[in-house]
Structure 1
Amino acid sequence: MSKYKCVIFDCDGVLVDSEPLSNQVMVDMTNELGANIDLDYAYQHFKGNSLENCISQIDQLINGDIPSSFQEEYRERSFVKFKKEIQPVEGILDVIKNLSIPFCVASSGPENKIKLNLELTGLLSYFESNIFSCYAIQKWKPDPAVFLWAAETMGFQPKDCVVIEDSPIGVNAAIAGGFDVCGFTAHDYRDELKQNATSTFDSMINLPKLL
Structure 2
Amino acid sequence: MLKAIIFDVDGVLVDSMFFQAEAWVKTFQEAGITISREDIYELEGSNDKRLIKSIFENSEKEPEPWHFEQLPEQKRNALEFDRIKPFEGILDCLKELKKHFKLAMVSGSNRKVVEKIVDKFFSNCFEVIIAGGDLERGKPEPDPYLKALEKLDLTKNECIVIENAPLGITAAKRAGLYCVAVASMLEPEKVKHADLVLEDHVILLDYLKNLILKSS
TM-score range, shorter chain: 0.7 to 0.9
Which consecutive aligned stretches of 4+ in structure 1 deviate over 4 angstroms post-superposition?
62-67
Write out aligned runs for 1:1-211 (5 A).
Answer: 4-44=2-42, 46-60=43-57, 61=59, 68=66, 71-79=69-77, 81-99=79-97, 100-120=100-120, 122-127=121-126, 129-189=127-187, 191-194=189-192, 196-201=193-198, 202-203=200-201, 204-208=204-208, 211=211
User: CA shift at 1:83, angstroms?
Assistant: 3.1
User: CA shift at 1:191, angstroms?
Assistant: 2.5
One-letter code aligned to 2:159: C
Unpaired segments of 5 or more residues in structure 1?
A: none
Contact residue 18 and residue 86 of structure 1 kept, 8 A: yes
- Give the Cα separation in 2 of the matches to 1:210 and 1:79: 39
- Give the Cα separation in 1 of the matches to 2:172 and 2:9: 14
Q: Give the match's secondary structure for 1:98.
A: helix
- Give the Cα separation in 2 of the matches to 1:28 and 1:173: 28
TM-score by length of 1: 0.84
User: CA shift at 1:168, angstroms?
Assistant: 0.9
Q: Give the match's secondary structure for 1:118.
A: helix
Unpaired segments of 5 or more residues in structure 2?
A: 212-216
Cα distance 1:57–1:51, how it changes in 2: closer, same or farther (>3 A)?
A: same
TM-score by length of 2: 0.83
Cα distance 1:90–1:79, how it changes in 2: closer, same or farther (>3 A)?
A: farther
Contact residue 156 and residue 177 of structure 2 kept, 8 A: yes
Cα distance 1:66–1:58, how it changes in 2: closer, same or farther (>3 A)?
A: farther
Deviations 1:43-65 (A, max 9, x none): 23x32222112212332427686
Identity %: 26
One-letter code aligned to 1:51: D
- Give the Cα separation in 2 of the matches to 1:190 and 1:28: 27
CA RMSD in angstroms, aligned pairs only = 2.4
User: CA shift at 1:148, angstroms?
Assistant: 1.5
